[in-house]
Structure 1
Amino acid sequence: MKSRLIIVEDHRILREGLRAMLCSNPDFDIVGEAENGMDAVRCARQYQPDLMLIDLSMPKMDGLDAISEIKNISPNTRILVLTVHKAEEYVFAALKAGANGYLLKDATHNELRLAVENVLAGKTYISPGISERLVQYFLNGRKDPEPDTALDILTQRERQILKLIAEGNKNKGISDYLCISIKTVEKHRSNLMKKLDLHNASELTAFAIQKGLVTK
């Protein structure tokens, strides 16, 4: 029986390239694609795939939040992160959220195939370059990444709304997209500003960019 895969990547050309590479394996069946975290969650709910390849930096909902939600609604789905982020805090955060593998986007075709096969087999796969960095991380006496307290104090919904604000969405657009009232959006926006000690949308956007929730 073929393994059912979903590709989650906001750049269309990369999605098409991944699909082409994975479709060359007769054991894989690409049952869906998504270009943001929210659509990834919907796909997981609809298809209950065996594996999802997920980027971390995406619009609407970032990869970390998407991974957490996907694991809640489809716990048997294996997740392989495919990203440009090499820093240890991203690796730890992804594994903590429920990822089963962590692969860098400069990986070769063969490494991608190996990572997918290992994760589908129930193993954990981490890019060799990342593995070496993690070993050095522990050898240097670090047992946990430094917590990002500014983000840790935000709820998942607040992080989601922060991301939408930083992407240029107004309260009405956020309200329509999330199917919540404008008053609820305004309340979340107010809470964000209080918690982060920020005072306008520009400061919220700069903070989101700094923390990697959105790209410039």
Structure 2
Amino acid sequence: MKSKTITIMLADSHPICLYGLKHIIESQENLSVISTARKENDIIEKALLTNPDILIIDPKLNDGDGFKSIRILKERGCKAKIILLLENICSERYMQASKINIEGYILKTAELDKILYSIREVNSGAIFIDENIEKELKHSDECINMSKLENQRLNILSQREFEILRLVASGLRNKTIAEQLYISEKTVKNHLTRIFKKIEVNDRVQATLFAIRAGMI
């Protein structure tokens, strides 16, 4: 049975990067680039019009702020999962991203196979963070300071809650976590509700970023 085609929108101010990535993605089976944009207004308009499964965006736009575009799209009900395509990861940009629901982070210098893998992972419901971004985040001054606060919050988690948070941060879904721990999916969900409250996050993406800052993965 043929897999459902994953529809993708690309947003980048640089035409070479934009069309090069488009060519690479469309050479793959079951991946289709249905829209591209280089300007902030075009990103919002085209994403709402085409409703892609995945929006891959460089937040550093020549004419605007990619994070602003993402926030507007979410406010208007856009269901696309977001992958940030970054030249580098600085603490300021990370702090912006951590405040909104971003499913994927990848560097423009990443191997092509990794970029394609990130698309399929994010589409399946997983969180994808380039390991080079993880390393950079752990060594930034802001994240070092934040990690102290994260570690304080970790101390109030039970052993079971800690383990579930680690598995979530590793990209596992509730069903897989339940199977590994020999508990029900409902029990996993109940644990996650308590975990999110204790570490003061709203969703799995923020929980994953929390775990990275705390050095759990």
Match of 1:64 in 2: 67
Match of 1:6 in 2: 9
Which one-letter code corresponds to 1:43 in the other structure?
A: K
Match of 1:44 in 2: 47
Which one-letter code corresponds to 1:3 in the other structure?
A: I
Give the 4+ runs in structure 1 shifted more than 6 A: none
Within 5 Å, give how 1:139-150 maps onto structure 2: 141-143=144-146
Query: How many residues are treated as equivalent by the alignment?
Result: 144
Q: Does 1:104 align with 2:107?
A: yes
Within 5 Å, give how 1:185-196 maps onto structure 2: none
TM-score by length of 2: 0.61
Residue 138 (structure 1) shift = 8.7
User: How far apart, in 1, do the equivalents of 2:142 and 2:100 lie?
Assistant: 24
Residue 60 (structure 1) shift = 2.9
Q: Does 1:128 align with 2:125?
A: no
User: How far apart, in 2, do the equivalents of 1:73 and 1:10 lie?
Assistant: 23
The alignment-based identity, stated in percent, is 22
**Contact persistence 1:67–1:99 (CA under 8 A):** no
> Helix, strand or coil for the counterpart of 1:135?
helix
Unaligned runs of 5+ in 2: 148-217
Residue 127 (structure 1) shift = 1.3
TM-score by length of 1: 0.61
Residue 24 (structure 1) shift = 1.4
Unaligned runs of 5+ in 1: 145-216
Of 85, 91, 95, the residue aligned with 2:94 is 91
**Contact persistence 1:52–1:79 (CA under 8 A):** yes
Residue 93 (structure 1) shift = 1.1
User: How far apart, in 2, do the equivalents of 1:68 and 1:12 lie?
Assistant: 24
Match of 2:24 in 1: 21
Match of 1:32 in 2: 35
1:136–1:63 distance in 2 versus 1, CA, 3 Å: same
1:140–1:119 distance in 2 versus 1, CA, 3 Å: closer
> Helix, strand or coil for the counterpart of 1:65?
helix
User: How far apart, in 2, do the equivalents of 1:60 and 1:42 lie?
Assistant: 15
